[in-house]
Amino acid sequence: MKLYGTPPTRAIRPLWLLNELALDFEMIMVDVAQGGHLQPSFRAINPFGKVPVLVDGDVTLAESAAISLYLAERYGNGRFIPSTIDDRARMQQWIFFLVTEIEQPMWRCALHKHLYAEAERRPEECALAERDCRRFLAPMERHMTGREYFVGSDLSVADFIGAYTLDWADMVGFLDQSPNLRGFVERMYERKAAPPRIDEAFAVLHGGGVPSARRHAG
C-alpha cells in the first residue's frame, strides 16, 4: 500500500487512519511546492494532479476524506465507522460539512494570500472567507459542548477529518472564540497514532527536513 503526499497537506487525514489501524504502507513524498503533483508521472496516478492519493493493490483513490473512509471500511473491523445507519449518516454529515463549509473558506484565503499569481490575488477575499468560516464554526462549537467526539461516544472518521480541518482553523486564528473545538483538537493530537500538526510539519519542511508520519515517537 502506498500513500502519495506530504504533511502538512490533506495527506495528514489518511495518514492518521493508516497509523491508527497499524497498517503497513509506504509514504511517497510529493513535493507540491516544487510542482511534483503536476509532473506526468504523478498525473498518471491521479489525473487531477492533487494529493493525497492511495494505491492499495488494484484500488487507486484520491480525495482525503474518501481515502479515510475507505481505510476504515476495509481495514477497521468495526473501528471508526458507526454501527447504526443513523450514526453513519451523522458521521457523513459532519465530514461533508467540514470539507465544504469550514475547509473551503480557508483554502480560498490561502489561494489569495499565497498561491495565486500576484495579479490574481484579492486581499478582500480573506476577510469574506474568515466571516464565512466563523459563521459555521459557531454552531460546531455549540455542538461540541460536553462532547468528546462528533458522533456518539466513539471515535469515527469524522473526528480525524475534523481534527485536521480544525487544526488548520486554529493555525490561522479562527478558533479564538471556540474553546470546545480547540480542546477537541488538542485531545485528538495527543493520541499516540496522531500525525504531526500542520504548523509542525511546515516547520520541518522549511528547515529542509521531511515530516515524520507520527507526532509522538514510539
pLDDT digits (tens, 9 = 90+) for 107-117: 999 889 888 89
Could you give the domains of the chain? 2-79 (3.40.30.10), 85-189 (1.20.1050.10)
DSSP reduced 3-state for 167: helix
DSSP 8-state symbol, 80: T
What pLDDT, in 10s, does the model give residues 50-93? 999 999 999 999 999 999 999 999 999 999 999 999 999 999 99
Q: CA 137 to CA 169: how far, in whole Å?
A: 9
Tens digit of pLDDT for each residue in 129-181? 999 999 999 999 999 999 999 999 999 999 999 999 999 999 999 999 999 99
Give the side-chain half-sphere CA count within 13 A for 147.
17
Cβ of 38: how many Cβ atoms within 10 Å? 12
Closest CA to 167 of 131, 142, 191, 143: 191
Q: What pTM was computed for the model?
A: 0.94
Cα separation, 102 vs 96, whole angstroms: 10
Give the separation between CA 21 and CA 78, rounded to whole angstroms: 11
Residues 180-208: what's their mean pLDDT?
95
Backbone angles phi, psi at 56, to 5 degrees: -130, 90
Burial 59-87 (b: 16+ CB within 10 A, else e): eebbbbbebbbbbbeebeeeebbbeeeeb
Alpha helices in the chain (DSSP H): 12-20, 40-43, 64-75, 85-97, 103-110, 124-143, 157-171, 179-189, 198-206
Query: Is residue 158 helix, strand or coil?
Result: helix
Question: Which amino acid appears at position 118 of this protein?
Answer: E
